[in-house]
Amino acid sequence: MRAWWAGMFAYEQYEGSAENLFTWNDMNEPSVFSGPEVTMQKDAVHHGGWEHRDLHNLYGFYVQMATAQGQVQRSGGRERPFVLSRAFFAGSQRYGAVWTGDNAAEWEHLKISIAMCLSMGLAGLSFCGADVGGFFKNPDAELLVRWYQAGAYQPFFRAHAHLDTVRREPWLFGEENTALIRAAVRQRYALLPFWYTAFYRSHRHGQPVMRPLWMEFPDDVATFAIDDQYMIGE
């Protein structure tokens, strides 16, 4: 099944595909809207007698793996794939990026995105971020600006919102706020060489891109409980 899925990314199979078209695997847990937890029943039995509770996270892992393999195959091995996946498991860092899922436009969710990505990095999944602005609900101007400023310093940087939210393009919040968001995005792009270096070191040595302070200052006991400050690389 994974080989078939990978083959569907071939240029002659995927209408409109191009070398710069990459993939977002969304709701690949898999999602089942009629289920009690919006997924398959935990005791649903798969081939071989395995219950879904044993396979749930592996399913998303293999979807991301097959998608990455399909992108490599379509270019004859010349291409470096990019696959964003909502579902993941140990080892998913080999195949692409992840994000923290359906958050909300709340200050608490902005705050917790830092701790979540720090934890993910320590577990080996460095390419992590959160939906800038929050997926559900509608951020006010201050929250949106602050989220762009924070998100620009997380490894995966993307604004994303639910279909039912109001429009939130940066230019809709007045010139002053637009300028602040533009400055954050420009800072992100200005630091791309540094980001690439941090990612290369993560790839080679497993060091998180986004690091808790205690990693760089292990002799400072005061850093052990801090999860609202961090380092990018060193």
Q: Could you list the active site residues?
A: 26, 102
The token pair at 113 is: 């995105």
Contact between 158 and 99 under an 8 Å Cβ cutoff? The reply is yes
For 15, phi then psi, to 5°, come to -60, 130
Q: Judge whether 105 and 133 are in contact, CB under 8 Å.
A: yes
- For residues 228 and 198, what is the distance between their CA atoms, to the nearest angstrom? 20
Pairing between β-strand 97-99 and β-strand 128-129 as defined by DSSP bridges: parallel
Distance CA 61, CA 208 (A): 20
179 near 187, Cβ under 8 Å?
no
